Amino acid sequence: MDKFMIEGGERLFGSIRAQSAKNSVLPLLAASVLTDRVVTIREIPPISDVTCMAQILRELGAEVRLNDGAAVIDSSNAGEHRISSALTKELRSSVFMLGSLLTRFHRAVTAYPGGCDIGLRPIDLHLNALKRLGVNISERDGYIFCECDRLRGAEIVLDFPSVGATENILLAAVKAEGRTVLSGAAKEPEIVDLQNFLNRMGARVRGAGGDTIVIEGVKTLGGVDYTPVKDRIEAGTYLIACAVCGGEVEVEGVKPENVGLLLHKLRENGCKIHTKNDKIRIASYGRLKCNRRIETMPFPGFPTDLQAQATALNATAEGGTLVVENLFETRFKYVPELIKMGADIEVRGRTAFVRGVPRLNGATVTAGDLRGGAALLLAALGAEGTTELLDLSHIDRGYSDPEGKLRELGAHIRRVRI
C-alpha cells in the first residue's frame, strides 16, 4: 500500500498534457473483442483500471500487449464468455463486456460489477436494453447469465441518459440484424469517441453526442489503430488544483467545450481562463469567491466526476456553496475527511452545504473512492502543513503518476511505500 506525503501551500506553475480518457479507453478495450482482427489503442494511460480490463480480456482468451503506451489486442483466439467475479468486483466497466461478448459469442456470464463505492448504480437499464435486442437474461447466485440465438435491431428508449447503458447498447447492436434506434442516449464526449472507434472498424453508427443514436448492423468488423480522446476529468482536476493553490497552469489536449461548465464555474470563482484550440490556461491569485450552487447533471451539465474536487475548492472560498449531487447517492463519503482538515461542510442526503473557511490544515486522511481521493489531494495541496493521504489504490484507478505531474508544477508531494 502507498501513501502521499504532501506539504501544502505551494503555488503551481507550468503546463501539463492530459492523458487519454479513462472513461473512453475502458469501453474501447471492451470493444476490441468484437473483431478477430488486431486492435491497437494508442496513448493508453498506465492506470490500474486499464490493467484490470486487460486482465479480463486475457481471461477471455485474448492476447494483450501493453508496450510503449499502446495496447495491442488480438482476440482471434478468444473463446471464453465468463468473466471472473474477482475482476468484475474490481472494475465497474467490466459491465461493457456484456454487449461485446453477446455480439461475439451470443452468450455471456458475469458477476455484478464493482468499482468505487459511491452508490447502488443499478444496471437495469443495461439489462432491459439487451432484452430488447433479443437477449434472454437470468440472475442467480450473484451472477448474470445472458444468451441469445442472434441479436436483432430494436427501438430502445432510455429513461435516463446512462453513459454505461448507452455504450453497452452500441457494443451489442453494432452487428445485430437490422437497425437499432436508441433514444434518450447519453451525450458525453466518450460516447462520440466510441462511435468513431467502431466506425473505424467498419461499423455504421451515427448520432452520438445527440439524443438519438442509430446503429445499422453490419456482418463483420475489422481491426483498427486508434488514439482516444483526452481525459476531461483529469484535465479538470488539474485546473481545479491550480485554482486551489494559486498560480498559472496550462492544460493541453482537451477541447474547452468538453469542460465548458467547469470553466464557467472557475471564472465565477474569480479565476482567469484563456482557451485556444485544445489548450486551457488558468490563472488564480488571492482568495477565491464561492460558487453559489453546483449541481451535477449528465453532459453537458456539471460532471459528477468533478463534484468532489469542486467541493474541495469551495471549502476555502469566500462565502457559501450549495452542492447538489443528482447522480450518485453516496458521493459525499469524502466529506468527513475534509472536515478533519478543518472544512465546514454539512451533508443532508444528496446535498452539501459548504461554508468557506480561510484555510485548511494538514491531517491524516484516507481516500475512499477515486474522485473523493482526488478532492483530498487537492485540499492537501492548498492546506497549511503536512497531509498524509492514505490508500492511493483508488486514485491510481484513474490518474497516472499524479505526484510526478504535480511536482513538475511545483507541488511538494511524494509517494511513500507503507
Catalytic residue numbers read 116
Q: Are 16 and 248 in contact (CB under 8 A)?
A: no
Q: How far is CA 289 from CA 191, 275, 322, 377, in A?
A: 34, 21, 13, 21
Q: How far apart are CA 402 and CA 388, in angstroms?
A: 15
Q: How far apart are CA 397 and CA 372, in angstroms?
A: 12
User: Which one, of 83, 117, 71, lies nearest residue 368 by Cα?
Assistant: 117
Q: How far apart are CA 8 and CA 23, in angstroms?
A: 30
Q: Show the CA angle centred on residue 300, arms to residues 198 and 263, nearest 5°.
A: 120
Residue 48 is which amino acid?
S
Give me the sign of the Cα torsion angle 302, 307, 310, 315: positive
Q: DSSP letter at 158?
A: -
Q: Are 17 and 408 in contact (CB under 8 A)?
A: no
Q: Are 250 and 15 in contact (CB under 8 A)?
A: yes
Query: What b-and-e string marks burial along 237-267, b requiring 16 or more CB atoms within 10 Å of the CB?
Result: bbbbbbbbbbbbbbbebbbbebbbbbbebbe
Instruction: Show the DSSP H helices in 109-162 as ranges.
Output: 124-132
